[in-house]
Amino acid sequence: MGGGQVYASPIHVHENRLLFVGMVSWHEHDDDFAHVEQKWKDRDWGTYLYAMRPDGFVYLRTRAKYGLIRTKAVVPQGGDLTVNTRTAPSGHVKVAVLDTSHKPLPNYTLEDAIPVTGDALAGTVRWRERKNLDELKGKSVLLEVHVREGELYALRFPYRVHLGEHVCDRL
């Protein structure tokens, strides 16, 4: 396709996709076109539009049927936990909440977790008896994310992290 550049400011569209504009040149910089075939001389450059999901720059994908990700200790500030994920039709994402000794918390176990399936940009994580992280506000916990046949792009929830003497807020 040649060389080119992608402009740095994506457009966020209503389908919850990011659009990037790219331009392609069919020759090297400072090229005199002497070696370029005639059919490309008339098409010196082209413009392309690329679409990508939010958080789509990096993701974790299961290599086998199952994958497991465990966070460092975080302090939820209540509210919803959402995941940006894409699973196979037979796949899902479930989240268990653990205490700092790595033991599952009652009502937040893997068995209590309701699966998030399909292509979910902001799939809300739920448990049978709990709908959010309100009960865990201010407690130090670990999140254990189980991915079956899928990709995990992001976890989103308001939390704090203790970094030595410093406290850092995150959304």
Q: 91-132 pLDDT, tens per residue?
A: 999 999 999 999 999 999 999 999 999 999 899 999 999 999
Q: Which are the contacts of 100, defined by CB distance < 8 A and separation ≥ 6?
A: 73, 140, 141, 142
| Co-location of 117 and 147 in the same domain | yes
| Co-location of 66 and 45 in the same domain | no
| pLDDT reported for residue 67 | 92
| pLDDT reported for residue 20 | 78
| Co-location of 22 and 103 in the same domain | no
145 versus 7: which is more confidently predicted? 145
| pLDDT reported for residue 1 | 47
| pLDDT reported for residue 80 | 97
The structural domain count of the chain equals 2
Within the chain, strands assigned E span: 3-6, 11-13, 17-25, 45-52, 60-61, 66-70, 75-76, 82-98, 113-114, 119-124, 126-127, 142-156, 159-163, 166-170
pLDDT at 165 over 70: no
- Mean pLDDT computed over 53-79: 87
| Co-location of 139 and 162 in the same domain | yes
pLDDT at 70 over 80: yes
- Mean pLDDT computed over 63-92: 93
User: What's the pTM?
Assistant: 0.71
28 versus 90: which is more confidently predicted? 90
User: What CATH number did the domain enclosing 141 receive?
Assistant: 2.60.290
| Co-location of 70 and 140 in the same domain | yes
pLDDT, the chain, mean: 82
Note whether 153 and 56 are within 8 A (CB): yes
110 versus 1: which is more confidently predicted? 110
| Co-location of 37 and 100 in the same domain | no
| Co-location of 66 and 133 in the same domain | yes
| Co-location of 82 and 46 in the same domain | no
What is the pLDDT confidence band of residue 51, given thresholds at 50, 70 and 90?
A: confident
| Co-location of 73 and 32 in the same domain | no
pLDDT at 68 over 50: yes
Range of the structural domain that residue 113 is part of: 60-170
| Co-location of 47 and 75 in the same domain | no
